[in-house]
């Protein structure tokens, strides 16, 4: 299991690093990264989600609780984040960056692929169901916070890849897979092998595109904020998740997925909001980098104990 987790973390960090390196050498400029995101969103992602949802057990109540739990856990982070932002007297752009980084966790690229590495398609599909709330919240609540606290940004080519039309394609794939599933049509065995190849490939291409736009700088000036954010991501939200799964008596793989997803670091998506709205880009990058590096030993520890919780 540790070896499979290492594979997932290696793909996540390696793809980001490769995209960053390609950008530095001029091979993956912003416009090309934007096209890559669009191709993956329109082409590969709907296919992956369709095949994953086709194979899920959608007749059980437990999987349908996951998006609700994901949204409740995400909104629960706003209380400690708002308290810290006020006490630390963060500026408005800093406050917007801190709130969005607290709310959005890396439940997709890191969480879902880690679940795929550990539990196969079943774990990946449950993560996709868990994060259904993510995209609507990103374009509504996330954009509202960006507009409220930002200084006014400039729309970048990569930021433009997150438009209203493109975000519908993954949902179409989910609905198509769910329809085939509920219709009782068996999925051909060959498509299982196809999905096992597509999931890591699409994840890698997405991360290379995003990694090309990441700026790496020392988080030392924001060390206190990074430590507080780590407490939210790796102590507070796992405890909230544990309380919820106990309250709902959730067991098996759905329980494991909720606890895993609630223990992930800052997402990559909040790094787009400073480009669009003028939030504090350096703080967002510092929070992402610090929690992502800390997530490596944290997840290695977590997978050894999560099945006992």
Query: Which CATH number is 220's domain given?
Result: 1.20.1530
| Structure confidence by residue, pLDDT tens digits, 261-284 | 999 999 987 877 786 678 898 899
36, pLDDT greater than 90: no
| Structure confidence by residue, pLDDT tens digits, 92-127 | 999 999 999 999 999 887 888 788 878 888 888 888
| Structure confidence by residue, pLDDT tens digits, 48-104 | 888 888 877 777 777 778 989 999 999 999 999 999 999 999 999 999 999 999 999
Task: Identify the CA nearest to 292 among candidates 271, 264, 269.
Answer: 264
| Structure confidence by residue, pLDDT tens digits, 204-223 | 887 887 788 677 667 788 99
Count CB atoms within 10 A of the CB of residue 107.
26
In angstroms, the Cα distances linking 120 to 36, 98, 125, 154, 195 are 25, 33, 9, 40, 10
252, pLDDT greater than 60: yes
2, pLDDT greater than 80: no
- What is the model's pLDDT at position 264? 93
Task: Identify the CA nearest to 16 among candidates 293, 302, 294, 298.
Answer: 293
Kindly report the length of the chain: 309
Q: Is 154 exposed, middle or buried (0-12, 13-18, 19+ CB in 10 A)?
A: exposed
- What is the model's pLDDT at position 261? 93
Domain count, the chain: 1
pLDDT band at 14 (very low <50, low <70, confident <90, very high): confident
List the Cα angle 279/283/284 in 5-degree steps: 70
Alpha-helical segments (H) within the chain: 2-24, 30-39, 45-55, 61-76, 78-87, 92-103, 109-119, 121-130, 134-137, 143-149, 157-160, 168-182, 189-211, 223-231, 237-247, 252-261, 273-277, 281-305
pLDDT band at 133 (very low <50, low <70, confident <90, very high): confident
Q: Give residue 105's domain range.
A: 2-308
| CB-CB contact of 165 with 150 (8 Å) | no
| Structure confidence by residue, pLDDT tens digits, 134-191 | 876 887 788 889 889 987 655 555 555 555 556 677 778 888 988 998 888 888 888 8
- What is the model's pLDDT at position 100? 96
Distance CA 302, CA 297 (A): 9
245, pLDDT greater than 70: yes
DSSP result, 134-148: HHHHIIIIIHHHHHH
244, pLDDT greater than 90: yes
């Amino acid at each position: 299991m540790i070896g499979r987790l290492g594979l997932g973390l290696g793909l996540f960090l390696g793809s980001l690093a490769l995209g960053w390196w390609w950008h530095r050498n001029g091979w993956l400029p912003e416009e090309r990264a934007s096209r890559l995101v669009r191709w993956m969103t329109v082409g590969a992602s709907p296919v992956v989600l369709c095949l994953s949802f086709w194979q899920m057990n959608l007749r059980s109540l437990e999987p349908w609780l996951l998006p609700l739990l994901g949204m409740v856990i995400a909104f629960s982070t706003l209380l400690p984040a708002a308290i810290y932002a006020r006490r630390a007297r963060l500026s408005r752009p800093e406050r917007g960056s801190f709130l969005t980084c607290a709310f959005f966790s890396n439940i997709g690229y890191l969480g879902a692929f880690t679940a795929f590495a550990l539990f196969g398609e079943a774990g990946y599909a449950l993560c996709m169901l868990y994060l259904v709330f993510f995209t609507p919240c990103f374009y509504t609540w996330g954009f509202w916070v960006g507009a409220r606290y930002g200084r006014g940004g400039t729309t970048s080519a990569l930021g433009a890849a997150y438009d209203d039309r493109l975000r519908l394609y993954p949902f179409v794939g989910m609905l198509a897979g769910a329809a085939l599933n509920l219709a009782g049509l068996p999925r051909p065995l060959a498509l299982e092998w196809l999905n096992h190849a597509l999931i890591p490939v699409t994840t890698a291409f997405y991360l290379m595109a995003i990694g090309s736009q990441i700026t790496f700088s020392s988080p030392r000036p924001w060390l206190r904020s990074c430590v507080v954010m780590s407490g939210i991501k790796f102590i507070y939200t796992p405890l909230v998740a544990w309380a919820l799964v106990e309250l709902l008596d959730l067991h098996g793989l759905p329980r494991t997925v909720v606890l895993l997803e609630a223990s992930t670091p800052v997402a990559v998506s909040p790094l787009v909001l400073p480009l669009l709205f003028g939030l504090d880009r350096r703080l967002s990058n510092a929070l992402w980098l610090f929690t992502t590096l800390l997530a490596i030993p944290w997840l290695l520890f977590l997978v050894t104990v999560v099945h006992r919780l």
